[in-house]
Amino acid sequence: MNNQVVKDVSSVKDRFTLAGKQAIVTGAKGGIGKATATSFAELGANVAIVDLPAFIEESKVVAAEIANRYGVKTIAVGCDVTKEEDIKNMVKAVSDAFGTIDVVHSNAGIFVGNDHNNMPVEEFKKIIDINLTGMFMVNKECANLMIEHGHGGSIINTVSMSGTIINSTRLEKDYMVAYTASKGGAKHLTKGMAVNLIKHGIRVNSISPGYLISGAHKFMDQIEVDYWANSVPIKRFGDMDEITGIVCLLASDLGSYFVGSDILMDGGACIC
Ligand SMILES: NC(=O)c1ccc[n+]([C@@H]2O[C@H](COP(=O)([O-])OP(=O)(O)OC[C@H]3O[C@@H](n4cnc5c(N)ncnc54)[C@H](O)[C@@H]3O)[C@@H](O)[C@H]2O)c1
């Protein structure tokens, strides 16, 4: 005998909401970030559209579109995630505008097509700086604000199936080194953050997409797109509608038992 009580199940719809939440999405003028920022707003959150300062005008357009569509508050903030000062200023700007931060999709990242063991070290460092160190700094600053405000939260990091497998990107068949290292690191960063932050009620998890048509594949020609689509068991790329659900799940109370999980969503690419 023990004191455990089996609860009645509650409404899935009631738990799948972000009403009254304040959210940040980095890389939010890009494909995946714009999609999740839009979906957060549809679920009721106010959303900060965060991207490189050079893209502030594009970010303002995304922010205005989302505010018009869903009637939530949005702001656009220029922030280079490789710069700690930019991140501190961004967190302060969002906190000033919305009062606090509950949900963070740390999604800014770069992808390089021709990435192999002979790449210049400066290029390697740049990829690590954005995809891993930048993610660490965004996680840290946002978590510190959540701790200060004492209400917990949810941080979702965009990793990649390249954090699970070493894949190649181009038909020449180079296997990726820097990108896969950055994403493998981000997956483990997520778990380390998760185990430390859960005592503050902050859940940190990651998503690992496979090939999604996000706009980041414009450098590929049709032969390559067809080749990579055919290499996946589902025989096609995924799209933005297929990624938003898992990010919203992790952001909302529906995902309240996810801690340090990495959700692989790859059309079966990592099976074989
Ligand atoms: N599309 C895919 O197939 C795929 C698959 C797996 C993982 N991912 C990951 O998803 C994330 C989003 O990629 P996407 O496909 O939407 O690509 P994208 O190029 O459309 O978006 C990336 C965004 O990040 C921003 N960014 C780049 N460097 C930045 C910096 N230093 N500071 C702030 N913002 C910066 C860019 O301006 C851009 O808006 C990336 O982390 C990428 O590695 C994408």
Distance 158 CA to ligand 1 centre (A): 9
The pLDDT, as a whole number, for residue 218 is 77
Catalytic residue status for 183 = yes
How far is the C-alpha of 216 from the C-alpha of 82, rounded, in Å? 20
- Could you tell me the CATH superfamily of domain 19-263? NAD(P)-binding Rossmann-like Domain (3.40.50.720)
Beta 103-106 vs 262-265: how paired, if at all? Answer: unpaired
Catalytic residue status for 179 = yes
Burial of 2 (0-12, 13-18, 19+ CB in 10 A): exposed
Distance 50 CA to ligand 1 centre (A): 12
The pLDDT, as a whole number, for residue 272 is 85
Amino acid found at 211: Y
Q: Is the CB of 53 under 6 A from ligand 1?
A: no
How far is the C-alpha of 210 from the C-alpha of 190, rounded, in Å? 18
The pLDDT, as a whole number, for residue 172 is 64
Write out residues in the chain with pLDDT < 50, as ranges.
none
Which of helix, strand or coil describes residue 65?
Answer: helix
Cβ neighbours for 161, distance < 8 A, ≥ 6 positions apart: 167, 208, 209, 210, 264, 266, 269, 270
How far is the C-alpha of 251 from the C-alpha of 134, rounded, in Å? 20
Q: Is the CB of 109 under 6 A from ligand 1?
A: yes
